[in-house]
């Protein structure tokens, strides 16, 4: 059974860099047919897709965040990491990692971590 | 970006009711539409993918229809555990986008 577990900065000061890691167990991040995604949800708000990475290392980021985001994979530890720099209070959110099935019929998020709250505050 | 608009934003219903939630895309997304359920303090959970395919383990009272720009999620008979937030999401292109959510409450 695939499990995703996020761990993160918790509290980050404005202008600093947020870092959240997703530990994947029960499956390999080096498998084809999937992308590894980051999605965030501000308190009381909706879901915003941040970006994804494939096992090849290919990435795509939401244009609204592209200049500040980096997603990477560590295949040796089966981890996926999100870094978001120059944060403001608007980046306060629960950050989720999610696996997306990439199939001929379509793509969907079939597995999610439990999420980790990152608060941006001085 | 493709805008996803759900209606209603919230609804009140009783146990046993038939509930329908609508999702409209700002352009055609063919059938690349997924539905998720989220309960307080939990991550979203996949219910239906590619418009109408039921995720393994999801009760058959959930169903999805639609194509192009208009989609619906139907719960045929509301159970107590179905009171939650529901989101649609398009996977036609990037950036992936979600509807604003529909809250189903008693």
pLDDT(A95) > 90? yes
Give the pLDDT confidence of B48-70 residue by residue, as tens digits: 999 999 999 999 999 999 999 99
φ and ψ at residue A25, rounded to 5 degrees: -130, 155
Residues of A whose CB is below 8 A from B55 = 110
Among B32, B44, B55, whose Cβ lies nearest the Cβ of A106? B32
Beta strands in B26-99 (DSSP E): 33-38, 45-49, 53-54, 62-67, 70-75, 85-90, 97-98
How far apart are the C-alpha atoms of A10 and A120, rounded to whole Å?
A: 8
Residues of B whose CB is below 8 A from A62 = 94-95
User: What is the CB neighbour count within 10 angstroms for residue B21?
Assistant: 22
pLDDT(B106) > 90? no
Give the pLDDT confidence of A51-72 residue by residue, as tens digits: 999 999 999 999 999 999 999 9
Which of A50, A63, A107, A117 best probes binding to B when mutated, by most B CB atoms within 10 angstroms?
A: A107
Instruction: Find residue A40's DSSP bridge partners.
Output: A48, A95
Task: Name every residue whose Cβ is closer than 8 Å to that of residue A45 and which is 6 or more positions away in sequence.
Answer: A93
**N-to-C CA span, chain A:** 39
pLDDT(B43) > 90? yes
Span B10-19, average pLDDT = 97
């Amino acid at each position: 059974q695939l499990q995703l577990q996020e761990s993160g900065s918790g509290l980050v000061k404005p202008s600093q860099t947020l870092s959240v890691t997703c530990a994947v167990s029960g499956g390999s991040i080096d498998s084809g047919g999937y992308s590894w995604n980051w999605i965030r949800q501000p308190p009381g708000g909706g879901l915003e897709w941040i970006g994804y990475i494939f096992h090849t290392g290919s990435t795509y980021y939401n244009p609204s965040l592209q200049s500040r985001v980096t997603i990477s994979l560590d295949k040796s530890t089966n981890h996926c990491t999100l870094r978001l720099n120059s944060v403001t209070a608007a980046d306060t959110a629960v950050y989720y990692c999610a696996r997306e099935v990439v199939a001929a019929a379509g793509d969907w998020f079939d597995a999610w971590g439990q999420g980790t709250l990152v608060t941006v505050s001085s | 970006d493709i805008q996803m608009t759900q209606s209603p934003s919230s609804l009140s219903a009783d146990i046993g009711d038939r509930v329908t939630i609508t999702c409209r895309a700002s352009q055609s997304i063919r059938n690349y539409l997924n539905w998720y359920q989220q309960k307080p303090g939990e991550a979203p959970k996949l219910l239906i993918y590619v418009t109408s395919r039921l995720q393994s383990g999801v009760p058959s009272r959930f169903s999805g229809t639609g194509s192009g720009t208009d989609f619906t999620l139907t719960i045929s008979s509301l159970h107590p555990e179905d009171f939650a937030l529901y989101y649609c999401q398009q996977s036609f292109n990037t950036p992936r986008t979600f509807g604003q959510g529909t809250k189903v409450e008693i």
